Structures are given as C-alpha cells and as structure tokens.
Amino acid sequence: MTKLPSAIWVVDTKKEHLAVQEAKKLGIPVIAILDTNCDPDEVDYKIPGNDDAIRSIGLLTRVITDAIVAGLAARSAVVKEESKTEAPAEVAAGEPMADWEKEIAASTEVSAPTANEAVSEVPAQVVTTDVVPVTEPVEGE
C-alpha cells in the first residue's frame, strides 16, 4: 500500500483485535459488526448484528460493498464533470483511482441515447386503428 486506508471493515472485533488497535493508533476509522460480546468503545462506526452467522456477515458485507460502489460511481461522475470544465493539469492533481475502481466506474457508466438515437428506436407504425368495444362489465366494478 502506498497510503493508509480511509477506513477498515471488521467483522469480529474479538478475533481481529490487533487490526482494531493498529487502526486506532494510526487514526483510521473502524467500521464493525458488534455482537453482545464486543466492546463498542473500540469501534468508531458500530453496526449491531451477529458476527458469528455467515448469512448476517454476507448481508452486511454486501450492503457495505454496494455503498462503496455507489460512492465510487458518484465520485467518478463528479471527476468527469470537473474534468470537462477544468484544465488537464488541475485534474492530474486529484487522487488516482485503483484498477478495481476504474473497472467499477466503467461498469456503472450508462450512456444516454441522443435525441436522434431515441427517435430511431421507436417503430414507425405504433398507432393501431382497431377499436374493440367493451360491452360486458369488467369484474370488480
């Protein structure tokens, strides 16, 4: 690693007590699942839950992962908007993205169709001339 992480995710603070202690010494925020046997004072961001069950660990880790992906997508969108208005030298001063961040940003990009593309996707004959009168009442009325 070339720099310290912005935060760490800990599943079991009892088993990973060394990681929690090192993060505290270095000033890194700790996000952790806390069971009844954990000390909440050791953790900066507490998530109450069962840190022993694989299903709860999987669920909470997926939620955290989705939040990270959404944050990275939002950050890459902001960087792209700023890069359109700023000079290239100013953009280079920003924090570089890791390869996995670039992959996530590339996969979340959705190109909006232009007006011509959107019109060309509509079929030419959409209007129908067949009208069928309804003589029987619809159920539920």
Query: Which pLDDT does position 140 carry in this prediction?
Result: 56
| pLDDT one-digit tens code per residue, 42-91 | 999 999 999 999 999 999 999 999 998 998 888 888 877 777 766 555 44
31 contacts 7 by C-beta, under 8 angstroms: yes
The Cα angle at residue 6 between residues 31 and 63, in degrees rounded to 5: 45
Domains and CATH numbers, the chain: 1-52 (3.40.50.10490), 71-116 (no CATH)
- Report d(CA 74, CA 13) in Å as an integer: 30
Task: Classify strands 8-10 and 45-48 as parallel, antiparallel or unpaired.
Answer: unpaired
Beta bridge partners of 33: 47
Tell how far CA 129 is from the center of its chain. 47
- 7-11, 20-24, 73-77: lowest mean pLDDT where? 73-77
Helices within the chain (DSSP H only):
17-26, 54-85, 88-92, 99-108, 115-120
Q: Say whether pTM exceeds 0.95.
A: no
- Report d(CA 82, CA 91) in Å as an integer: 8
